[in-house]
Amino acid sequence: MKRVTIVGAGFAALTAVRKLRAANPRIEITLVAPSPEFVYYPGTIWIPSGLRQPDDLIIPLGSFFQRNRVNYRKGSATGLKEGGRTLVTDRGEIKNDGLIICSGGRFIKNLPGIEHVITPCEGIAAAVKIRDRLRQLKSGTIAVGFSGNPKEPSAMRGGPMFEFLFGIDQSLRLDGRRKLIKLVFFTPAPTPGQRLGPKAAEGLLKEMKKRGIETHLGFKLKGFTEKSVITEGGEFDAHLTLFMPGMTGNEWFDNTDLPRSEGGLILADGMCRVEGMDRVYVAGDSGSFPGPEWMPKQAHMADLQAMAAAENLNAELQGRAPSKSFNVELICIVDSQTTGSLVARTQKFNIVLPQMRLFHWLKRIFEWWYLRQYR
């Protein structure tokens, strides 16, 4: 019986489990993660408004592991041995015949005063902190922004910040505080949202203007204080700052021979194989893949990469040559609590549909549909 180890319990990891088990009932699957639970990060945008509670987005994986005959090992990866055939964790070593790394990325937190900001995609606790701070704020300024990894164009996650921005705006309007609280959006990019496509970028700026959201664009960030954001273009007040830094690789990669991109992610080919390593694959935020600069770091892309990684690894374990590549697709609904805008981009087309109540409900329905497979 062939043994496969999967690192992580996020979108890519669980999709890899499903794909492997469907393709090979006899394979032995071991999944390593700190907790046997899945956090649905896209839903955290609704925690500040109360549309979601933390428990709504945390899915225990015991039943899923049992149905798919997964050996869960509690722990965190700390290194590799024998060219990837042994995963080293903080709770021991695990042998494998094939390895899929889905341990996500790490935010670059090197700006002075970064401790004064909240990074939403760090998890449930961050979203709850935003909710609590919003409830306490009677007047002042809220700053929302993001930056990237200059050495890795794809290693950024700006989409959720637009959703937090528009969602907070709508929530403040609904409870009558919007006139008392200024919203400012900031990013070093002169035109934010270019990864979504030119039409989407133009639409985002128009939506900000329509909502009375001020912008501070095109200036390199210098740091933060408890009550301000500092850029090369000046300093402005911020009584609450939400900021998404660029991403790089996990710290444990430094203890391995994994090949790294200039931006610190694991180098992989178009079939998700880690360059120069035998039967070692990567999917999701951990990897640096060939493709267009707008290739997103989002759940849908992680799922597509995980499907390719699982299919190719299974082929190798059965003595066949891997051949499955993944499509580069960006699909999202930019939600604002009551309405949403659909954005889709591939290498052949780019579609942007206007804000509609329908898309907000489609995003909620998709959440229910996606999570039912893990409940």
Query: What is the mean predicted confidence (pLDDT) over 42-47?
Result: 97
Q: Residue 154 — pLDDT band, cuts 50, 70, 90? A: confident
Q: Look at residue 98 in the predicted model and tell me its pLDDT.
A: 98
- pLDDT, tens digit, 9 for 90 and up, residues 160-187: 999 999 999 999 999 999 999 999 999 9
Q: Look at residue 157 in the predicted model and tell me its pLDDT.
A: 86
Q: Residue 153 — pLDDT band, cuts 50, 70, 90? A: confident
Q: Look at residue 26 in the predicted model and tell me its pLDDT.
A: 95
Pairing of strands 98-101, 106-107: unpaired
Query: What is the mean predicted confidence (pLDDT) over 287-310?
Result: 95
Say which range, 149-163, 165-179, 278-292, 361-375, has the weakest mean pLDDT: 149-163
CA 172, 177, 179, 181 torsion: positive or negative?
Answer: negative
- pLDDT, tens digit, 9 for 90 and up, residues 66-114: 999 999 999 999 999 999 999 999 999 999 999 999 999 999 999 999 9
Query: What is the mean predicted confidence (pLDDT) over 51-76?
Result: 97
pLDDT over 90 (residue 46): yes
Q: Is 261 exposed, middle or buried (0-12, 13-18, 19+ CB in 10 A)?
A: buried
Q: Look at residue 106 in the predicted model and tell me its pLDDT.
A: 95
Which residues is 187 bridged to in the sheet?
217
- pTM here is 0.95
- pLDDT, tens digit, 9 for 90 and up, residues 244-256: 999 999 999 999 9
Q: What is the mean pLDDT of the chain?
A: 96
Backbone Cα Rg of the chain: 21
Q: Look at residue 45 in the predicted model and tell me its pLDDT.
A: 97
Which residues is 214 bridged to in the sheet?
184
Q: Look at residue 284 in the predicted model and tell me its pLDDT.
A: 97
Q: Look at residue 313 in the predicted model and tell me its pLDDT.
A: 98
- Domains (ranges, CATH) in the chain? 3-105+250-317 (3.50.50.60), 108-246 (3.50.50.60)
- Give the span between the Cα atoms of 125 and 44, in whole angstroms: 10
pLDDT over 90 (residue 264): yes
Q: Look at residue 315 in the predicted model and tell me its pLDDT.
A: 97
Q: To the nearest 10°, the Cα dihedral for 225, 263, 314, 64?
A: 0
Q: Look at residue 57 in the predicted model and tell me its pLDDT.
A: 97
Query: What is the mean predicted confidence (pLDDT) over 253-262?
Result: 97
- pLDDT, tens digit, 9 for 90 and up, residues 190-229: 999 988 999 899 999 999 999 999 999 999 999 999 999 9
Stated as kind and residue range, the H or E segment containing 13 is helix 11-23
Neighbours of 366 (CB within 10 A): 12
pLDDT over 90 (residue 309): yes
Percent of the chain's residues with pLDDT above 70: 100
